[in-house]
Amino acid sequence: MTKDMNLKINHDCQAVSNGAAASNTDTVASSRVSSLLASKDRDFLLSPTGNQVKVCDLEGKIIGLYFSANWYPPCWNFNQVLVGIYEQLKSSGSNFEIVYVSSDEDRGCL
């Protein structure tokens, strides 16, 4: 059986799962999420336009980690669908962000 879990980052950059208050388990999850998204030398991600987005700017949002590669046709096709869905969610006021984790080796593919 799988368990659905939404992950949010609260004001202290701690994880909050399914809208519940952060527990010790959630705090550990936050550390893991932060360690995935930031390091001691880099506390930001790059937007599709190349702008820096601080990891803490994602606080309070539901974050989807999307692993993909544009060189693989099924991923490329799904990327196009995901962009459309993301734009619909954002236009309806959704508090959702996608962190794209690329398997592309060529920066031009991003």
What's the pLDDT at 39?
A: 84
Task: Give the pLDDT confidence of 7-29 residue by residue, as tens digits.
Answer: 444 444 444 444 444 444 444 44
For residue 58, give the nearest of 80, 40, 36, 87 by alpha carbon.
36
> Which CATH number describes the domain made up of 7-109?
3.40.30.10
- Contact between residue 31 and residue 24 where contact means Cβ atoms under 8 Å apart: no
**Mean pLDDT, the chain, as a whole number?**
74
* Centroid of chain to Cα 92: 19
Q: Residue 94's Cα: distance from chain center in Å?
A: 14
pLDDT tens, residue by residue, 59-99:
778 889 999 988 888 988 898 899 999 999 999 999 989 99
Q: Cα 39 vs. chain centroid, distance in angstroms? A: 16
